[in-house]
Structure 1
Amino acid sequence: MIHIDTMKSAVCLPLLLTFLLTPTLATAQFAGMRARVPADANTLVLINAQKMFGSRIADREGWQAKRQAAYDAGISALPPGATEVLIAGRHDLHFGHEALWELGMMKFSQDKAVLDVATHYGGSMDEIGGHTAVRLPDDHFVLQMGPAFMASYTPANRQDVSRWLRQTNVSTPGGHLAPYLQEAFNYATKVGTPIIMAMDLGGLVSLTEIEQRIAKLDALKGADIPAKELVSLLQGIQGITLGISIDDSELGAVRVDFADSAECLAKVGKPLLLEILRNQGAMIDDFQQWEPSVSGNTFMLRGNLGEEGTRKLMSVMELPASMTHAVQDAKSEHANDPKKKTLLATQQYWNSLTALMDDLHDDHHFQSFGQGAIWYDKYSRKIDRLPILNVDPDLVSFGATIAATFRNCEALMKGVGRSSALRVSQTGGTGTSGYSNSSYGGYRASMGYGSTPYGPQGMGSGVSAMNASRQQQGSEIAQIHMQERARGAKSLGDIWSQIEGETAAMRRQLVNKYSADFK
């Protein structure tokens, strides 16, 4: 969503996103949330659950009825009863995407009390800036912002939370969203797009960095684009936004906005974007089938989004599990029955754990081992964050083992690249040089001035031998990469075979212990 002047935005923006328009525009959505987002936020996620579950496809496929099951299985981050969610953060986009701070806000259809969160997760009660708060063991503060409105903030630094509340007080002037994120907010509130994820990238990279990086991108090799034009365009990147529209089907669009015309990306924009996403471990297979287009300063991909792609996208939108599970469990039918509480907590943990395992197992054929390593790291951390209160201790230990195994898989997949590089470096000088026993300029190795004519004919002989040597060396390198990938794939397959056996054994143990099914 490029920052353009008001008159142009009134005409251009609706045209650029007509595929995301829905029959009616949203009104008064995310009220009270916008003013609470700190001015230095560079990421923003907005989810309108009411619009999602009120769509025609949701009605046709019974999403509302399946909502509890999807939440229990860890597929959906939205607990039943949640109506609106806003997630914002300040991330170090240059190095590792680590969060400096993250803020989550959630509204519910019924009143919820932060006391329930403290009761369920052993947090310590507090009051910060006039709001009842609880500090949780997982480094989050959860705050009561209204009767049916909660917020979470991490890291759980009390002074930072106090400053956040004071600086974003809705009754006094506070910070403002960056223009790019404000445009994203407008799509959710004015256009009515039910799911928006936006990242402000303005001023992120220098010309030197761009020049170094584009030289390594396969998508640009042989591209008929002036280097200066491309570098200038990329330095002027404003941000990237994903929008998901849900009506008769799930449609998605990824748009990348620049300060200048993106016309030069008409032919190479799609392979370039997919390669960058793949390198960052953010690739979704559905993107391969999406159609590219350029309009003014915006490059866009859009198309259908399948169940697996939706699940992966939703996996990056995380509110603290302790908050979402607690507000749900506190009102559950068996909240005060210890045996039922243990069974329900254990089943919920099992469903969440196996859903994460299935997600990786079904998609362990990643485009590269480096990309796969990123997802294994992400999912190991998701397992570590699953709520464990009242969960069977043996299952908690099993989950910790799976998380550790995923981290081992991450190391294994990263090791494939390192091992390949090491072997290539060791064999780089062992192939034929291209000059041994060949003529170059009339000289023959070990023979002094030989009978081969001096000049082009002699040079041709040497270059031919050199090319043959390079081809041989290239073949050796390709074989090394293939061998290391095959070895890595076999090791990964062996690990998954072991995981499957241990998972089946754990399931039998739980079924026998609780006389209940664990699917």
Structure 2
Amino acid sequence: MMTRAKALSAGWVAWLLAALVLFSALSVANAAGRFDDLLYRVPRSANALLVIDVKGVHSSPLAVKEGWKSQHEASYVKKPMLLPPESDRMILASQMNPNRDFEVLWEGAVVSLTEPLPPRAIARAEGGYVDQIGGVPAVWSPSDAYIVLFEPKLMGILSPAHRQAVARWIEDGEVTRTVVVSKYLKEAADSVDGQKTQIVLALDLKDAVQPHRLEQALNKSQLVGDDAAKKQKWAKIVSSIRGVTLSVQIGRTAQGTLRVDFSESTSPFGKDAKALVLGVLDEYGVGIDELQQWKTRLDGESIVMQGELSTPGMRRIFSLLELPTTNFTAADELPQESPGSSSPSSRTSEDKEKAVVEASQTYFKSVSTLLNDLQEEFRTNRDARRSLSAVFLERYAKRIDRLPILHVDEELLAYGMKVAETLRSTSIASRQAGVRAGVRKAQGAGYYGYRGYGYSYGARYGTSYNDYYTARTRSSEKTQIRREEDAKARQVRFQNWKEIQDATAAIRAKMTKKYKVPF
């Protein structure tokens, strides 16, 4: 009896140990994170991530209803972002400077594919060539990017196309095989579960706050006023900022949760928390109108805002981080190469014209959708948010540059290039309004005019000076200077928008007449 009892006891112990080992393994796997196999390829210097469960997004009721997964629908007509149909998970990463209108130092992506994409097919779709970097197949793209195939179903993209940097990027990932991004970004990536939360955008802002800019902002803040004690408390909290995270839950609608995380309690912000967040987002040029309707609460060391996100709103937000190139998504639409031949198989003239018509319609619809998103930027008179348009105009110009161009009509491409350049010049005008006002306040009231130049529609913001300077500029004069510079930037914005509208109407009529189909 004792022997049998011992045997049973030993059996239970063995079963219990096996269960503990299995539980431990599952816990470790879960702790590792669903995206760690992609995340360890992201360089340490990244301070911004956009983590997307593509499969989860595409299977959501909203995406199914609006056909986000359709390869043949215009890229931006219904979708909030470009998601390669061949992917199931994706991380976009970048190193930005938030103190310089979110200037991008580098940007890249790591994409998990559902099926392999041959390097030669990618090169043909991109209009580039196949390369070999660090023993890994790669493709150089004229979009100023390298596409790297770490594995048959694991793709990396890095821009700019700095070959040496790409080689070191490949080597670092192979050597470390561990996640090296900041703890804040890692925590954000781990929150994407594909079911409740499909998308997370995170920006690590630790040590990003410049003391002199913070002091200037608090000095002019109506929320702080002349309350020195309040100013001191707020300065301490803002200086401790860890980062900002936007989580998106897509069901029948898209719901967003914006968290601004600090290392200090946010209770001193009180009822001013929402106005503070909205003001800072506007000041840094990344404000979204619909956030005005979101509910706000304080949660320990965080400010939390929640509410519904529209598709245009998501397009704006996600323009901060996007794929450096998207032409490779057309690789499977190219004609197959004939056996033993290096050239594509022949197609009839009817097939070629059909491809041109479909690609051109898609391109035009995409540009039109992006312009519709920006329409209010040109119409608004709220110049206190002048930098809002600056950041998004520049990002949308880049979006147009990166639209798939395979088979697109040459005249239509020229139109798109001009539109993108015009958006950039308008962005510059908005940015420089504040800079020029600052110079005039320091030196005296000079004159700043306009000059048109370059390959774009409309006017650009130019500079000329007169010889008159005052010894000092009083407060009222500073206000007047600000208004004058804002008015000039607004004039450029309105003029450029009219030029874009006229050009859009003209190219639509021309393409419709040329191909006998509506555009």
Number of the residue aligned with 1:504: 505
Please name the residue that 1:410 is paired with.
427
Q: Partner of 1:497: helix, strand, or coil?
A: helix
Whole-angstrom distance in 2 between the partners of 1:509 and 1:276: 44
Displacement after TM superposition at 1:87 (Å): 0.8
1:394 to 380, 389, 411: 411
Given residue 361 of structure 2, which amino acid in structure 1 is its aligned partner?
A: Q
- Give a deviation string over 1:209-230, Cα, whole Å, max 9, x none: 5334322333332668533322
Distance 2:238 2:346 in 1: 54
Map of 1:99 onto structure 2: 104
The CA deviation at 1:253 is: 1.4
Select the residue among 347, 367, 374 that pairs with 1:353.
367
* Cα drift, residue 159 of structure 1: 2.1
Following superposition of structure 1 onto structure 2, how do residues 132-147 of structure 1 map, counting pairs within 5 Å? 132-147=137-152
Q: In structure 2, do the counterparts of structure 1 residues 79 and 70 end up closer, same or farther at CA, with 3 Å as the change threshold? A: farther
2:252 corresponds to 1:252: no
Any idea what SS the aligned residue of 1:133 has? strand
3-state SS, counterpart of residue 115 of structure 2: coil
Partner of 1:54: 59
1:319 corresponding residue in structure 2:
323
Residue 202 (structure 1) aligns with: 206
- 3-state SS of paired residue (2:73): helix
Q: 2:358 aligns with which of 340, 344, 347?
A: 344
Q: How far off its partner does 1:477 sit?
A: 7.5
**Separation in structure 1 between the aligned mates of residue 442 and residue 164 of structure 2, nearest angstrom:** 52
Residues 156 and 495 of structure 1: is their aligned pair in 2 closer, same or farther, counting only changes over 3 Å?
closer
What CA deviation, in whole Å up to 9, does each residue of 1:475-509 have, x standing for no partner? 88877766775665455444433332322221121
In structure 1, what is the equivalent of residue 389 of structure 2? 372
Query: Could you tell me how far 1:252 is from its partner in structure 2?
Result: 0.6
- The separation in 1 between residues aligned to 2:212 and 2:434, in whole angstroms, is 26
TM-score (norm 1): 0.76
1: CA distance between counterparts of 2:162 and 2:439? Answer: 44
Q: How far 1:28 moved relative to its partner?
A: 7.0
1:105 positional shift: 1.6
1:33 deviates by 0.4
2:466 corresponding residue in structure 1: none
Asked whether the 8 Å contact 1:88–1:102 carries over to 2, the reply is yes
Shift of 1:263: 1.2
Aligned partners of 1:219 and 1:275 also within 8 Å: no
Is the aligned partner of 1:157 residue 2:133? no
Unaligned runs of 5+ in 2: 1-29, 337-344, 446-473
Q: Name the CA distance, whole Å, in 1 between partners of 2:169 and 2:442.
A: 52
User: Residue 215 of structure 1: SS of its match in structure 2?
Assistant: helix
**In the TM superposition, what is the alpha-carbon distance from 1:131 to its structure 2 partner?**
2.1
The alignment partner of 1:226 has SS state of helix
Alpha-carbon distance in 2 for matches of 1:126, 1:476? 59
- Between the aligned partners of 1:180 and 1:384, the Cα distance in structure 2 is 32
Cα distance in 1 between the residues matched to 2:138 and 2:439 = 53
Paired residues of 1:92 and 1:98 also in contact (CA < 8 A): yes
Letter in 2 for 1:181: L
Q: Which residue of 1 aligns with 2:452?
A: none
* Residue 266 (structure 2) pairs with residue 262 (structure 1): yes
String of CA shifts for 1:107-142, please: whole Å, max 9, x gaps. Answer: 233332232121123312112233211111222110
Amino acid at match of 1:393: E
CA distance in 1, matches of 2:213, 2:425: 32
8 A Cα contact 1:217 1:275, kept in partner = no
Offset, 1:422:
8.5
- SS where residue 204 of structure 1 aligns? coil
Q: Which has the larger radius of gyration?
A: 1
8 Å CA contact 2:400, 2:420 repeated in 1? yes
Going from structure 1 to structure 2, the CA distance change for 1:482 and 1:107 (only over 3 Å counts) comes to same
Distance 2:93 2:484 in 1: 43
Q: Is the 8 A contact 1:419 1:484 kept in 2?
A: yes
Is residue 34 of structure 1 aligned with residue 67 of structure 2? Answer: no
Q: 1:311 to 1:130 in 2, by over 3 A?
A: same
In the other structure, the counterpart of 1:229 is: 233
Q: In the alignment, what sits opposite 1:13?
A: none
Shift of residue 183 of structure 1? 0.7
Paired residue type of 2:372: D
1:43 aligns with 2:48: yes
**Within 1, Cα distance between the matches of 2:153 and 2:40?**
17
Answer yes or no: is 1:305 the counterpart of 2:315: no
Contact 2:205–2:243, Cα closer than 8 Å, also in 1: yes
Look up the match of 1:177: 181
> Following the alignment from structure 1 to structure 2, what is the Cα–Cα distance between the partners of residues 181 and 67?
31
Given residue 253 of structure 2, which amino acid in structure 1 is its aligned partner?
S
Are 1:77 and 1:315, in contact at CA under 8 Å, matched by a contact in 2?
no
Q: Distance in 2 between matches of 1:272 and 1:243?
A: 20
Q: Work out whether 1:384 is the aligned partner of 2:401.
A: yes
Report the count of equivalent residues. Answer: 447
**More deviation, 214-223/275-284:** 214-223
Q: Which residue identity does 1:39 align to in structure 2?
A: R
The 1:39–1:424 alpha-carbon spacing in structure 2 relative to 1, beyond 3 Å, is closer
1:281 aligns with: 285
Could you tell me how far apart the structure 2 residues matched to 1:364 and 1:122 are? 35
Change (3 A) 1:58 1:30: same
Distance 2:431 2:240 in 1: 32
CA RMSD, 1 decimal: 3.4
User: Partner of 1:110 in structure 2?
Assistant: 115
Deviates more, 1:137-146 or 1:179-188: 137-146
CA 1:247–1:183: 2 relative to 1, 3 Å: same
User: Relative to 1, partners in 2 of residues 1:395 and 1:310: Cα closer, same or farther, differing over 3 Å?
Assistant: same
- Kindly provide the amino acid, as one letter, of the partner of residue 242 in structure 1: L
Matched, 1:188 2:179: no
Q: Distance in 1 between matches of 2:478 and 2:99?
A: 32
Residue in 2 that maps onto 1:432: none
- Does the 8 A contact of 1:200 with 1:238 survive in 2? yes
SS of 1:153's equivalent in the other structure is strand
Is the partner of 2:264 in helix, strand or coil? Answer: coil
Query: 1:252-272 deviations in whole A, cap 9, x for unaligned?
Result: 111111112111122222111
SS of the residue aligned with 1:364? Answer: helix
Partners in 2 of 1:107 and 1:363 — Cα distance?
Answer: 36
C-alpha separation in 2, matches of 1:43 and 1:232: 24
Worse overlay, 485-494 or 405-414: 485-494
Question: For residues 210 and 114 of structure 1, do their structure 2 counterparts lie closer, same or farther at Cα, with a shift above 3 Å needed?
Answer: same
CA distance in 2: counterparts of 1:419 and 1:36, whole angstroms = 42
Tell me by how many angstroms 1:29 deviates.
3.5
